[in-house]
Chain A
Amino acid sequence: MADLLEQLESLRTTERRVAMATLVGARGGSPRPLGAKLFVGEGDGGRLVGSVSIGGCVDARVVEHGERLLRENRAERVTVVVDDEEALELGLACGAEFDMLIEPVRLDVADAAIDAYERAIRAARAGRTAFVVTRFDGATAARDVLDEPPGAPDESAFVERFAPPDSLVLVGASDVGAALARLARTLGFRVVVVDGRDRYATRERFASADEIRVGMPSDVVQPFLTDGAFLVLASHEYKYELPILRDALRRPLRFVGMLAGRKRAASVRGLLREDGLSDAEIARLHAPIGLDIGGREPEEIALSIAAQLIAVREGKAIARRA
């Protein structure tokens, strides 16, 4: 899940000008959140990056509108209605309506729209929430970037919120850790890898990680145990788990999970109890970690953990393993 800035960087390698379609309204349900974007490259075979639905007829129609508006060099608010009668009759279409703002944007020279989004995303990457407020007057779209949401409700404005990505602190540069780092980065997490061993916690093994820190794990992890962070202990080493858990389970982290079988997890809980942690604090520990999908390879285990992280992020009841 590349963020908008990564999508734009990718597009710039081949495209000078694209149509940017933004999902600004939906009725009847939408598989993508408002603000989702699809970029349509110029001409036959122009690149398609991103999506405003989960594929199928909606994206296809947006591509057609995008190509048309690139030729006409103008912006338009377009409503796409899923009204294929045969599909509706068979119950295979949802009958939803989607509103898109589709506008040509330049990638080879300065462009006000692109500039606004790049500023907002850079702010989010730096840890600040930013809001892009778009007003469309029927001919042109104007944007403001704010560091707070606009005060009064304004039906003519479309507001997009760019928040810092959720942070995954991954302790243990194991193969499971490496696979999880790759997956989590793809899923939009900011990934920090921590280990005491510099032969394991290497850039080669963790190419996509945002940060790699080697040192005394319980020390180097400290600045990253921020409110709402996700912590995964994938070291399978009590020497790292116990010192970190004694502290982490008392912090308002969003998720604390540990790679362990049931027996070892029970032993770790027992030691934490001896160390004075309360039952409520210990109950916050997800161990064994991951949804029970039955895999045993590092990538399979990482997938089960990543699935649990998503469930927690989305507030789903499946978030805790049975």
Chain B
Amino acid sequence: MYSGVVLEHFRRPRNHRALEAPTAAHEAHNPLCGDRVRVEVVVERGVVRDAAFTANACAVCTASASMLTERVIGVPVRDAARLSDGDALAALDTSLPTARVACATLPLRALHGALAQLPATV
């Protein structure tokens, strides 16, 4: 059903941890299915130096969070903020039913929520 990428990142998620001193963090959740994902970032001089997540979420959501955090480490904040739902879905390399799209994009909402909290000076 899922691509090997999804299963690989679900069973061996990257950056699945809590950061000691995140610059910003945000938890997003789906009120109906109950997926919850918190994304934390460390930002220095406008660049995402570290990113991590914790989740109580389905395989798709967990895999998406894993890939998203891998993708944004070392990336300027302005570029990370421009990532779209389409980017998150494409990374999964799988065809998702409409009802599961929200699972794949939930980590992106958490990331955008965290980046929105950053003070202008970092």
Q: Which A residues contact B (CB, under 8 angstroms)?
A: 195-200, 215-219, 235, 237-240, 243, 274
Q: Is the interface of B mostly helix, strand, loop or mixed?
A: mixed
Q: How many pairs of A and B residues are in contact by the CB < 8 Å rule?
A: 44
B11 interfacial by beta-carbon distance below 8 Å: yes
Residue from A218, A238, A239 whose CB has the most chain B CB atoms within 10 Å: A239
> Could you tell me if B34 and A243 are in contact, using CB atoms closer than 8 angstroms?
no
Q: Which B residues contact A (CB, under 8 angstroms)?
A: 11, 27, 29, 31-36, 38, 54-58, 61-62
Determine the chain A residues whose CB is within 8 A of the CB of B33 once the complex forms: 197
Q: How far is the CA of A199 from the CA of B36 in the complex (A)?
A: 14
Determine the chain A residues whose CB is within 8 A of the CB of B31 once the complex forms: 197-199
Determine the chain B residues whose CB is within 8 A of the CB of A238 once the complex forms: 58
Smallest beta-carbon distance A213→chain B, Å: 13
Q: How far is the CA of A237 from the CA of B62 in the complex (A)?
A: 14
**B29 CB contact (under 8 Å) in A196, A218, A219, A274:** A196
Q: How far is the CA of A117 from the CA of B79 in the complex (A)?
A: 65
Q: How far is the CA of A197 from the CA of B34 in the complex (A)?
A: 5
> Could you tell me if B56 and A216 are in contact, using CB atoms closer than 8 angstroms?
yes
Known: A216-B27, A216-B38, A274-B11. A239 touches B32 (CB 8 A): no
Known: A216-B27, A274-B11. A243 touches B32 (CB 8 A): no
> Could you tell me if B54 and A196 are in contact, using CB atoms closer than 8 angstroms?
no
Residue from B27, B54, B56 whose CB has the most chain A CB atoms within 10 Å: B56
Q: How far is the CA of A240 from the CA of B56 in the complex (A)?
A: 6
> Could you tell me if A196 and B35 are in contact, using CB atoms closer than 8 angstroms?
yes
29 residue pairs from A and B, CB less than 8 Å apart: A195-B34, A196-B29, A196-B34, A196-B36, A196-B56, A197-B31, A197-B32, A197-B34, A198-B31, A199-B32, A200-B34, A215-B36, A216-B36, A216-B54, A216-B56, A217-B36, A218-B54, A218-B56, A219-B54, A235-B34, A238-B58, A239-B34, A239-B55, A239-B57, A239-B58, A239-B61, A240-B56, A243-B55, A243-B56
**A239 CB contact (under 8 Å) in B38, B54, B56:** B56
Q: How far is the CA of A243 from the CA of B56 in the complex (A)?
A: 7
Q: How far is the CA of A181 from the CA of B35 in the complex (A)?
A: 23
Smallest beta-carbon distance B67→chain A, Å: 17
Q: How far is the CA of A200 from the CA of B33 in the complex (A)?
A: 10
Q: Which residue of B lies closest to A238 (CB)?
A: B58
Determine the chain B residues whose CB is within 8 A of the CB of A219 once the complex forms: 54
Q: How far is the CA of A268 from the CA of B108 in the complex (A)?
A: 28
Smallest beta-carbon distance B33→chain A, Å: 8
Q: How far is the CA of A247 from the CA of B29 in the complex (A)?
A: 22
Q: How far is the CA of A237 from the CA of B33 in the complex (A)?
A: 9
Q: How far is the CA of A216 from the CA of B62 in the complex (A)?
A: 14
Smallest beta-carbon distance A175→chain B, Å: 15
> Could you tell me if A217 and B32 are in contact, using CB atoms closer than 8 angstroms?
no
Q: How far is the CA of A244 from the CA of B43 in the complex (A)?
A: 30
Determine the chain A residues whose CB is within 8 A of the CB of B56 once the complex forms: 196, 216-218, 239-240, 243
Determine the chain B residues whose CB is within 8 A of the CB of A243 once the complex forms: 55-56
Q: Which residue of A lies closest to B58 (CB)?
A: A239
Known: A216-B27, A217-B56, A274-B11. A240 touches B38 (CB 8 A): no
